[in-house]
Amino acid sequence: MPELPEVETVRAGLAAHVVGRTVAGAEVRHPRAVRHHVGGGADLAARLAGRTITAAVRRGKYLWLDLDGAGDALLAHLGMSGQLLVTRPDGAAPAEAVGPVPTMVRPVSAGDAHLRVRVDFTDGARLSFVDQRTFGHVLLTDLVPTPDGGPGGHGSAVPALPAPVAHIARDLLDPALDRAAASRRLRTRRTEVKRALLDQTLVSGVGNIYADEALWRAALHPRRPTDRLRPATVRELFDAAEAVMRDALAAGGTSFDALYVDVEGASGYFARSLDAYGRAGLPCRRCGALMVREHFMNRSSTLCPRCQRPPRGSAP
DNA sequence: AAAGGGACCTGGCTGC
DNA sequence: TGCAGCCAGGTCCCTT
């Protein structure tokens, strides 16, 4: 699932392969993919034509392409299954690709069943938004000033954000994040710590996978009440979440194919390094107790019942 | 106002 | 072997 490390991998790929190119034309092939664009697919395609991509920027799980530096952007959220794939001008397989190509990576043809939006550049290169489950979306939107005057996100020095991202907090890889303030806000919430970690208005970029990983690293039960956490504990949790996402980003980078910008680039990481997510029934890598899966927010949490003690008064 | 739960979506897997 | 039903989860929206 695309969480911060996967989205950042995509952003880096777009920065390398799309920035500087000019849009010749675009086609929206599924209305749901542009459901948040005011004006619909035809309007989006028409307004993209002739624009030049000047930056690839990310905040949390949102990423966007600045257009001409003119104060608007093509914004994308990958949802659960979204991919942004770049094919080079001749459309052929990448000649300079090295190392094993992830199995999910394949050339995109016009007949691709899940191709939602296609952007063609004047030099023949193509950007394709492919999304099986259509939880993701793209839209063209104006930038608005950041509340704190700091940079809008990773990859930009401009103090501006796409309007739909204005409510998204800075993420744990953002040097401009005020961690003390985020910690205070978390501790004044009356909720459970995993729910708070997943709240993108508190700290962004963390999804179910990295939430479980961070809680395991910090040895915290997902249902611990936020208003009873000490500041030092929250600091450790933030540090753990940052560390696991940096590790994932580094691992994703190694298997990341240079020309196909693929959210599955982190597959090598998933196979090797996850300590919690997907390990129910397997021994905890810290203490050996069998990991368990619990229902949480209509989904699941995987945790170590020995390292991550439930809060007092909670059901076992 | 804040917190929490359901809807949205589809391919793959499980169990009968 | 076939098929129904469950599962995955990020974000928005609605209710409490």
Q: How many CA atoms lie within 13 A of A182 on its CB side?
A: 23
State pLDDT tens for residues A72-98.
999 999 998 888 988 887 655 443 333
Which helix (H) or strand (E) segment holds residue A208: the answer is helix A208-217
Of A316 and A265, the one with more pLDDT: A316
**Strand C: which residues 237-266 of A lie within 7 A (CB)?**
none
Bridge partners of A192, per DSSP, are A225
In this complex, the answer to whether residue A208 has its CB under 7 A from any atom of chain C, a nucleic strand, is yes
| From A190, A272, A299, A312, active-site residue | A299
Nucleotides of B under 7 A from a protein CB: 2-11
State pLDDT tens for residues A13-54.
899 999 999 999 999 999 999 999 989 999 999 999 999 999
Residue with tokens 């459901």: A35
Which DSSP string do the residues of A16-76 spell out, in sequence order? HHTTT-BEEEEEE--GGGGTTSTTHHHHHHHHHTT-BEEEEEEETTEEEEEETTSSEEEEE
Cα–Cα distance, A268 to A247 (Å, whole number): 12
Closest nucleotide (C1' vs CA) to A132 is B10
Q: Is the pTM of this model over 0.85?
A: yes
**Percent of chain A that is helix, strand, coil (3-state, to 5):** 30, 25, 45
Mean pLDDT of chain A: 87
Q: How confident is the model at residue A249 (pLDDT cuts 50, 70, 90)?
A: confident
| Measured CA A139 to C1' C15 distance, in angstroms | 29
Active site residue A225: no
In this complex, the answer to whether residue A153 has its CB under 7 A from any atom of chain C, a nucleic strand, is no
Cα–Cα distance, A98 to A94 (Å, whole number): 9
